[in-house]
Amino acid sequence: MTEIDEERADALFHALADRTRRDIMRRVLAGEHSVSALAAKYDMSFAAVQKHVAVLEKAGLLVKRRNGREQLASGDVTAVRSVASMLAELEQIWRGRIARIDELLASETTTHHDQKD
């Protein structure tokens, strides 16, 4: 990964590390919501929800647009897919490492049994 990719991954995973932001993402991926309608769903101030939305927007996971006085938020499916792709890459790396550990353990067991005979 390049430095820019790493910074993007940091921003994406930071944004998704918070339970409220993940819930907001679930809602805006299902359909466009006004920020005020989103704020009504949470036991926190409107300003706090706005900050969560801003973190998601900065990470590129959510897009806002104005409709009169309302700010409407919708999820960016492409950005979410890039997160899934990064996780799949990490999974491949770890599966490879686990497979190598399994191989080492198996060869060690075989070597250990051969030495006993």
Kindly tell me if the per-residue pLDDT of 39 is higher than 90. Answer: yes
The CATH number assigned to the domain with range 3-116 reads 1.10.10.10
Q: What is the pTM of this model?
A: 0.75
* Total residue count of the chain as it appears in this document: 117
The confidence band for 4, taking pLDDT boundaries of 50, 70 and 90, is low
User: Which tens digit of pLDDT belongs to each residue from 46-91?
Assistant: 999 999 999 999 999 999 999 999 999 999 988 888 888 888 888 8
3-class SS of residue 72? strand
